[in-house]
A and B are shown apart, each in its own frame.
Chain A
Amino acid sequence: MTARDLAELAARNLREAILRNSLTTLGVAVGVASLVAMLSLGVGLQALASDRLTKSGLFDAVFVTSRRDFRGPGGDGPPRKSSAPPEKFKPLDEDARQQFAALPNVVDVYPQIRFLTDVRYQGNSHSTNVLGVPESSRSASAFDAITGKYFSSPAAEEAILQQDFAKELSPQPASLVGKEITLRYAERRALSSDEIAKEKDIDAQLDAMMTGGISIVSREKKLRIAGVIESDPSAGFGGGRVFLPIRVAEQLHAAQANDVQDFVRGGGFGKPTYAALTIRVKNPKNVLQIEDAIKKLGFNAFSLLDASKTLRQVFIVFDMFLGLFASLALTVASLGIVNTLLMAILERRREIGVLKSLGATDGDVRSLFFAEAGAMGLFGGIFGVALGWLIGQALTWGTTIYLRRQDLPGVKISYVPWWLAASAIAFAVAVSLVAGLYPAGRAARLNPVDALRYE
């Protein structure tokens, strides 16, 4: 029989027992829908996470620390293995920064500037962290949903507040835009021996010498609030609640945590060093190459590309589990197909006998039942993908409503890419064909004489 004749006969047979076949197909559809809904959730969440991470600017960045400081930005990890001799400690200073900036494919090199301050607003004092953000963060997703504006220029004396912090200052964060705040911070100043000598108070001279030539001076800086954002642009990496243009932050020379480290290690004399430098590269593809170059220069380099690989693995396992559970529904549905087809064989026993007496081969009969199983799988698959997509939309809708109530931006948690839709349909057809294997074989093996005798 030709494929077209087979399809016509199968369609006719399916139409004849329309209710039963529809119910079976619906069963397949529900199975596929649960599969698609679950996997779309997995894919959606993964896309969401990747998108957030990509926009966070963490994937086109290499983080550099001095070899002396064994702790990378990741925390108290074990010392990194290095090819360079361990005694060669290069300070992460201005020279190093220039060196990095000269590397190919490097867009920007900036230090991590984060310090504690007191923010004064309307006579009240609020203690918080300040973070310098580079100009390249302008495109970060966190600034998409800004109330107000991004810094007017890379050196503007402006601040952007994180929403929670803004709420501490005023119950209506939006009203803060354009207002002025005062930062009180500790300025780190390296003292020359001349300056120490000029100090009139001998005790102060002694202090200055004892502390290795650093003086910490309390300073104030007035800044205009440019905007308020909901989330942290550094995606929790570094962390801060008041954001300043990095150039402005650098000019403040605020004392940072590593100053104390420098001091303890006796490196306080001479040029200031950076706790960490972030190198922004043109393309995430360049990250490994830059990482290698930095390591050869004798510094620790770290990128989140490794972290993203782990994330992808986690999601694959997550998707597999979701898929496994959802497949159970499809398995139950496939049993429905077996049942429906076995019923059909009983009902159409005589018809099978007639077909065989007219010259249908076992293969013809088998193909006919296969085609019916496949069609139920196909329609169930298509309907199921649509249903699964709807469930995903409903989940997104529900989550968005919930998040909005929590004053959080809505997110698209479910996503059905074309490959998921196509493979779900293909999977449904495949499962249905497997389900049709036994009934079709049984129909094909029917003895025509017995089948014709059957009433």
Chain B
Amino acid sequence: MPTQTLTNTLIGAEKVSRQYQLGEAIIHAVNEVSLEVRAGEFLALLGSSGSGKSTLLNLLAGLDRPTSGAIHVEGRDLAALDANELARYRRDTVGMVFQTFNLLPRMTLEENVELPLRLAEVDRAERSARVAEALERVRLGARRQHRPSELSGGEQQRGALARALVNRPRILFADEPTGNLDSVTGEQILLLLREIQDSLGMTIIMVTHERPLAERFANRIAVLSDGRLVDQFALSTGAVV
């Protein structure tokens, strides 16, 4: 496989397709997309609504399985993983943030951030330090006892980011992370993402439909339209910070 032989290739997608049956019709949400992501890069998946960018993200993040094609992450074929191994992949290798933040409303921020540690059976003594560290990184140390409803949109997204980082994953997937935020707050989130990329050497794959944001913060952009990868190019950006 050519993608595997390249150094620094973290994720390699090869002719990945995902189809849905919708009544009589078959929807080709992702259609034979081949893509490489290098370790430490910030890739933006750009496309309009329904272009298949979120479906592709879910496939790469191990939330969904492709109908055909192969996805290799750190040399492992995701299709070969069973349900439990895929869950472990999501837990240990991957962190995810969503447009709607998806913090559990009944838990405090701290408890939300602790959830992945519970799932990973991290020692209790270690947990509070890890939670505190993650919250400090997103500058929410003072809000740890608050419930999501008591936080602003930006704070919630930062909380979600802390939760995604607490298990120290190597890849961060962000699905329209600024979609529910005003432009100023959105920019702050993206700045934070860049900061995390730089300080932790994290690989970030972000889905967005806002081209200017993608161009300002990402290292590379892959453009999707109607489920197909129509364009991809590197950017010389990165100095914006």
B90 near A358 with CB under 8 A, answer yes
Rounded to whole Å, the gap between the CB of A415 and the closest CB of chain B is 44
10 cross-chain pairs, A with B, having the tightest CB-CB distances, nearest first: A359-B91, A361-B87, A5-B118, A359-B90, A354-B102, A358-B116, A359-B119, A448-B63, A449-B64, A361-B84
10 contacts between A and B (CB under 8 A): A2-B121, A16-B106, A354-B102, A357-B102, A358-B119, A358-B163, A359-B87, A359-B89, A360-B91, A361-B84
A residues whose Cβ falls under 8 Å from a Cβ of B: 1-2, 5, 9, 12, 16, 350-351, 353-364, 447-449, 452
A140 to B2 alpha-carbon distance, docked (Å): 97
With both beta carbons as reference points, the residue of chain B lying nearest to A364 in the complex is identified as: B119
Q: A360 to chain B: which residues have CB within 8 Å?
A: 87, 91, 119
Q: In the complex the two chains form, is A362's CB within 8 Å of B87's CB? A: yes
Instruction: Write out, one digit per residue, whether chain B residues 52-77 have a CB within 8 A of any chain A CB (1) or not (0).
Output: 00000010010110000000000000
Q: Which residues of chain B have a CB within 8 Å of any CB of chain A?
A: 58, 61, 63-64, 83-84, 87-92, 96, 98, 102, 104, 106-107, 115-116, 118-121, 163, 167
- For A361, the chain B residues whose CB sits under 8 A away are 83-84, 87-88
Q: How far is the CA of A393 from the CA of B119 in the complex (A)?
A: 47
Instruction: Tell me the smallest distance from the CB of B229 to a CB of chain A, in Å.
Output: 20
Look across to chain A and name the residue whose beta carbon is closest to the beta carbon of B94. A359
Measured between beta carbons, the chain B residues less than 8 angstroms from A351 are 104
* CB neighbours of B107 from chain A (8 A): 12
**Cα A172 to Cα B134 with chains together (Å):** 89
Name B63's contact: one of A5, A16, A356 (CB within 8 Å). Answer: A356
Give the number of residue pairs across the A-B interface with Cβ within 8 Å: 66
Besides A358-B90, A358-B163, A362-B87, 5 other CB < 8 A contacts? A12-B107, A357-B96, A358-B91, A359-B89, A364-B119
Tell me the bound Cα distance from A454 to B58 in angstroms.
15
What B residues does A1 contact at CB under 8 A? 118-119, 121
Is the pair A363, B84 in contact by a Cβ cutoff of 8 Å?
Answer: yes
> CB distance A358 to B121 under 8 Å?
no
Q: Are B102 and A362 in contact (CB under 8 A)?
A: no
CB-CB under 8 A for A359 and B92, given A12-B106, A354-B104: yes
Q: Which residue of B lies closest to A448 (CB)?
A: B63
Chain B nearest Cβ from A1, distance in angstroms: 6
B206 to chain A, nearest CB (A): 16
Give CA–CA (A158, B207) in the complex, Å. 106
Report chain A residues within 8 Å CB of B167: 359
Considering only CB atoms, which chain A residue lies closest to B120 in the complex? A359
A359 to B63, CA, bound (A): 9
Closest to A451 in B: B63
CB-nearest residue of chain A to B96: A357
Report yes or no: B83 in contact with A357, Cβ–Cβ below 8 A: no
For the complex formed, measure the closest distance between the CB of A335 and the CB atoms of chain B, giving whole angstroms: 27
In the bound complex, what is the Cα–Cα distance between A264 and B217 (angstroms)? 124
Contact partner, B115, options A16, A350, A353, A355, Cβ 8 Å = A355
The smallest C-beta distance from A200 to any residue of chain B, in angstroms, reads: 112
B101 CB to closest chain A CB (Å) equals: 10
Q: Which residue of A lies closest to B85 (CB)?
A: A361
**A residues within 8 A CB of B84?**
361-363
With A12-B106, A350-B102: A359-B116 Cβ-Cβ less than 8 Å: yes
CB contacts (< 8 Å) of A358 on chain B: these are 90-91, 96, 115-116, 119, 163
